[in-house]
Amino acid sequence: MKKIIGIKIILILIAILLFGMLFFTITKTHFKKCEEHLENEKQINQDKEQNSKYVSLEQLPKEYTFEQALNDGCFIISHKTIYNKEKLNEFIANTQKNSNNRIADTIRIVQFTMEGDMIFTDIEYTEEGKYKIMHDNTRDQFLAKEDRKITLEDDFSGEIYGILEIEEGEDIHLELALYAIIEDVDSTVKRYENEIICRYPKDVTVYKFGPTFIATVLDVRDKWVLVKPKETKYLGDKVSLGIPNDEKITIGDTVEITYTGDVMESYPVQVKAMKIEKIKE
């Protein structure tokens, strides 16, 4: 009798051991799958970040420059000049409703205030078929502090909205526009309207890199330099500008200046330089 009981106990212990091993194996497999899933999610997110055209607005440095915006492929509006227009054209082509292959895409628009501050607008068309607009005016020094913020609007269905360039008077409006008129059914329901993203003059000058001119340095003061252009037909005999890079400039140097294309009609005229390089003649 005792022998039978002992055998039963041994069998029970073996069963418990086998069950424990099975449970451990199943649990280990489950955790391994969870880890693989998390790793895949992490990789997907990393791939999305790497494939993104732009650094998030929150991560942009405060000293972000015109040249950085140009190199990053932003669509830039600087008074009567624009840059990277082909990037905007590409975004419109990729996201329009009648496109053969409508795809997710993003465009960053950089506008300069009259005082030279940057205002950013990101337009994203998502894989879910919606438009998102993120607006950042935190660098506008002439706004009250409480009005400087980053805002997001994301309730624009791609079924009824698209990005269009619309001529109005002397300007071109870039609008997130309705494809069709939608009648108001109920005053409590959201009213669908066109959203003006930005505008620029129809007679705007389109640049890819910015105009350049060669000049002789007449004076250097702190971060400003006064130069005499080699050709004075368009800019006059003297030009004042800030030094945008770490180039060591001294009086008498011959330099090549790349600027935004905008000219402030004072005397001497003022331009916003993107790059100054010393050259040998």
Task: Report d(CA 236, CA 247) in Å as an integer.
Answer: 24
pTM of the model: 0.67
Task: Report d(CA 18, CA 154) in Å as an integer.
Answer: 55
- Per-residue pLDDT 10s for the chain (281 aa) are 556 666 767 777 777 777 767 766 776 665 566 565 555 554 444 444 444 689 999 999 988 988 889 889 999 998 788 999 999 999 999 998 877 788 999 999 999 888 788 999 999 999 999 999 999 999 998 899 899 999 999 889 998 899 999 999 999 999 999 887 666 555 555 677 888 999 999 988 888 777 889 999 999 988 899 999 998 777 889 999 988 877 788 999 999 988 887 788 888 999 888 888 888 76
Task: Report d(CA 144, CA 163) in Å as an integer.
Answer: 30
- Whether the bond into 229 is cis, omega within 30 of 0: no
Q: 21 in helix, strand or coil?
A: helix
What pLDDT was estimated at residue 18? 73
Task: Report d(CA 259, CA 32) in Å as an integer.
Answer: 57
- Name, in order, each residue with C-beta under 8 angstroms of 214's C-beta and a sequence gap of 6 or more: 229, 230, 231, 254, 255, 256, 257, 279
What pLDDT was estimated at residue 45? 45
Q: Tokens 């706004």 appear where?
A: 143
Residues comprising the chain, all counted: 281
Judge whether 247 and 215 are in contact, CB under 8 Å: no
Instruction: State the alpha helices, DSSP H only, in 52-157.
Output: 66-71, 85-95
R_g (Cα) of the chain, nearest Å: 30
- The 8-class DSSP code of residue 158 comes to T
Strand partners, 110: 76, 120
- Whether the bond into 268 is cis, omega within 30 of 0: yes
Strand partners, 221: 224
Q: Tokens 């993120």 appear where?
A: 134
The domain 212-278 is placed in CATH, from the list 2.40.50, 3.40.1350, 1.10.287, 1.10.3470, at: 2.40.50
What pLDDT was estimated at residue 52? 61
Task: Report d(CA 171, CA 180) in Å as an integer.
Answer: 23
What pLDDT was estimated at residue 264? 82
